[in-house]
Chain A
Amino acid sequence: MPEKFDVIVVGAGPAGTACALTCAKSGLNVLLIERGEYPGAKNVMGGVLYRKQMEELIPEFWKEAPLERPVIEQRFWMMDKESVVSFGYKGLEWAAEPYNNFTVLRAQFDQWFAGKAVEAGALLINETVVLECIVENGKVVGVRTDRPNGEVYADVVVLADGVNSLLSKQLGFHKEFRPDEVALTVMEVINLPKEKINDRFNLEDNQGTTIEIFGDSTKGNLGTAFIYTNKDSLNIGVGTTLSSMIKAKLKPYELLDYLKNHPMVKPLIVGGESAEYLAHLIPEGGFRSVPKVAGNGVIVVGDAAQLVNAIHREGSNMAMHSGLLAAETVIEAKHRGDFSEASLNLYREKLYGSFIMKDLEKYKDAAHTFEKYPQYFNEYVPMMNQAMSKFFTVDGTPKRDKQKQIMKKVTQERGTIRVIQDIYRAWKAVK
């Protein structure tokens, strides 16, 4: 007789583990199923972990979690072929408790995080693939794994199976992605001695920096590149929407090579030893791409529910929070003894009432705007670089004349009305 749990969580990433942990803490009988050799073995992200949502799950987690560095500086680069306009913020308040965010290596962090769910009483099973949900009378009642006697039952199944959620697709919750709904990101972990990192990034002790790079980092396509500092390695990566890659005939690995050899980037990574190469899809469709998130006996969380804010590079925090909201819903449903869609739709309400859907709603047009009007990346970034170069080059031209020349160049190149249109459109997309 197959076993029955209160809840089965499929996928031990940030969303699934957050859900399993919260359910287990409230005394529910939880089974957490992971397809990787261990949690984190297959998980990929750029590397920034936000403190706030993690802290809600494990207070003062920074005292014991395997973190790399607290981020004390966030830089933004508008990069052209041989130049960069940069701005950013560095603040020592981020170097002390409670911190703002951290760089992490997912293979270590996810393993530790899942260990916390196990400590709380969740049962973790690795190296097991869930093939499908078991549906009886229109209700999800369990999962079928690829193992012999692989059926397991539960009141609720939480799908945290990641961006390409085959399970929610099987249930008809969402269709195959359109190429403009997902970004393909490739990254490398490059080993570099701590002292070199601290010198090159102007850091002390264990402080960290993040750099987000726009413009030539993606050869002017919609997307970004990033460099994050770990303890003794760097995460460097680049991604664009799949549709941009198809349109511009870009190969992701070529783009990463291009970035690594860019004269603005190369001095930061030179001499490093490539330790890992990773690639991942990121659900960047935003608000309009969020599928059905609750059904009879089933809830969808994290990347599987497309919960990523591409503009603010937030994903894992949204995943964790959605996992927490799902757990709260399951716990309440358990009290009521009702796991129908009507009962579990409380999760949908919680999700739409939280910062997650509010933020995604705010930027619901951003990606589409920038995809449709590529001038922001391929025209304005170079223009900005030329303007700065002109303004700061001392050649005897009075500064006021320089300003005039710059404005003239901008309006000449794009036309005054189009510039105003572009500004309005961008403002509307992110307001």
Chain B
Amino acid sequence: MHIVVCVKQVPDTKIIKINPKTNTLDRRSAPAILNPYDAHAVQEAVKIKEKTGGTISVLSMGPPQATAVIKKSIEIGADRGYLISDRAFAGADTLATSYALSKALERINKELPVDMVICGKHAIDGDTGQVGPGIARRMDIPPVTNVIEVTEVNQKEKTVLIKRKLTNGYELIQSEIPCLLTVEKEINGIEYSPMPNMIRAARYEPIIWAVSDLEKVERTQLGLKGSPTIVGKMFTPPRPEGGKRLEGPADEQVKQLMDVLMEKKDLLSIQSSK
């Protein structure tokens, strides 16, 4: 079983500041971390490997300092890590990113056939969730998004049983292998990495590839050139106003509440509109 986990280095958006003039993220104001969803993706690969054996590779695209997230993934339990890093990749949107990553995956697949790709649900700096499915489409393997449990991996039959999160429940899906999963946070808890992993990660030197290390790459599909996304406008949404607090004795409050509900009929019409 060879699992490749795609990971991204992101600024910690919990503490990042927004440049008030450009409305873009001031990346220097926050430390760079492993995208939290991707950490769960690596952890899930580790859990699968515990049952099936095999190899876990991690793949990332980014500047040279992105090797930090590969090392972090090794701490969690990945076996090896690849970083594609080249000026030609810079400025990529989700289309160009999934193209570049799929080209790297082609090379990894040649070295050791890939049985499963796992990605985080989305990156916390972009929130699009498009790169995972984009890779699956380019690799022509089934994408399974919003995964909350990998129930069973059957290597003989080359199938995998998966729980997907839905708005009001979950669905159980059987997919063929190879396939691509994107995972939710609730799929697992990140375990405290064992000391041997920490030592291995501290020593580990990720494999770094430039564009020239990848085969049959259309340079026009890379980076800014390969990115059709145009940012029209960016703004900080206004803070929602605080709710109204009902005061007085209970029956008085109930009456007031009924008045409000009767006035705002749309509050009650959600069910029927579905």
The answer to the question of B161 belonging to the interface, with a C-beta cut-off of 8 Å to chain A, is no
Band of interface residues on B? under 10
| Residue-wise interface mask of B (186-204) relative to A, using a CB-CB cutoff of 8 A (1 in contact, 0 not) | 0000001111101100110
Is B195 a contact of A145 with CB atoms below 8 Å? yes
Residues of B within 8 Å of A151, CB to CB, are 195
- Interface membership of chain B positions 22-43, coded 1 if the CB is closer than 8 angstroms to chain A and 0 otherwise: 0000000000000000000000
CB–CB B192/A125 < 8 A: no
Per-position binary interface string of chain B over residues 164-206, scored 1 when its CB falls under 8 Å from any chain A CB and 0 otherwise: 0000000000000000000000000000111110110011000
Q: Are B195 and A152 in contact (CB under 8 A)?
A: yes
B195 touches A149 (CB 8 A): yes
Point out the residues of chain B lying under 8 angstroms from A193, CB to CB.
none
Nearest CB on B from A290, distance (A)? 32
Q: Which of B193, B198, B199, B202 has the most CB of A within 10 A?
A: B198
Which listed residue, B194, B202, B203, touches A149 by the CB 8 Å rule? Answer: B194
User: Is B194 a contact of A123 with CB atoms below 8 Å?
Assistant: no
* Residues on the B chain within 8 Å of A152, using CB: 195, 199
Chain B interface helix/strand/loop/mixed: helix
Q: Tell whether A124 is near chain B: CB-to-CB under 8 Å.
A: yes
Complex Cα–Cα for A149 and B196 (A): 7
Q: Are A148 and B199 in touch, CB under 8 angstroms?
A: no
Q: Tell me whether A175 is interfacial, beta carbon within 8 Å.
A: no
Interface residues of B in 67-83 (CB under 8 A from A): none
Distance to closest chain A CB from B131 (angstroms): 27
| Cross-chain contact B202 with A147 (CB below 8 angstroms) | no
Q: Which residues of A contact B199 (CB under 8 A)?
A: 3, 31, 123, 125, 152
Whole-angstrom distance between the Cβ of B125 and the nearest chain A Cβ: 20
In the bound complex, CA of A31 to CA of B201 (Å): 13
Q: Mark A95-126, 1 if CB is under 8 A from B, else 0.
A: 00000000000000000000000000001110
Is B203 within 8 A of A147, CB to CB? Answer: no
The answer on a CB contact under 8 Å between A124 and B195 is: no
Q: Are B202 and A148 in contact (CB under 8 A)?
A: no
* Contacting pair A150 B202 (CB below 8 A): no
Check B198 against A125 for contact (C-beta < 8 Å): yes
Interface code A136-153, partner B: CB below 8 Å = 1, 0 otherwise? Answer: 000000000111111110
Which chain B residue has the least Cβ–Cβ distance from A147? B195
Q: How far is the CB of A4 from chain B (nearest CB, A)?
A: 11
Q: Is the CB of A148 within 8 A of B194?
A: yes
Question: CA–CA, A248 to B12, complex, Å?
Answer: 43
Chain B residues lying within 8 Å of A150, measured Cβ to Cβ, are: 194-195
For A149, the chain B residues whose CB sits under 8 A away are 194-196
CA distance in complex: A125, B196 (Å): 11
Alpha-carbon distance between A267 and B144 when the two chains are bound, in angstroms: 62
Q: How far is the CA of A77 from the CA of B192 in the complex (A)?
A: 50
Pick the most buried of B195, B199, B203: most chain A CB atoms within 10 A of its CB.
Answer: B195
A128 adjacent to chain B (CB < 8 Å): yes
Chain A residue at minimum C-beta to C-beta distance from B198: A125
Residues from chain B with a CB closer than 8 A to the CB of A2 are 195-196
A9 to chain B, nearest CB (A): 13
CB proximity of A431 to chain B, nearest CB, Å: 49
Please determine whether B194 and A125 come into contact, CB atoms closer than 8 angstroms.
no
**Shortest distance between the CB of A233 and any CB in chain B (Å):** 15
Q: CA separation between A422 and B39, bound complex, in Å? A: 64
Q: How far is the CA of A181 from the CA of B193 in the complex (A)?
A: 38
Q: Can you name 12 A-B residue pairings with CB atoms under 8 Å?
A: A2-B195, A3-B196, A3-B199, A31-B199, A124-B202, A145-B195, A146-B192, A147-B192, A147-B193, A147-B195, A148-B192, A148-B193
Counting from the closest, the 4 A-B pairs by CB-CB distance are A148-B194, A123-B202, A147-B195, A150-B195
Given contacts A125-B202, A149-B196, 17 further A-B pairs with CB under 8 A are: A3-B196, A3-B199, A31-B199, A123-B199, A123-B203, A124-B202, A125-B198, A128-B195, A145-B195, A147-B194, A147-B195, A147-B198, A148-B195, A149-B194, A150-B195, A151-B195, A152-B195
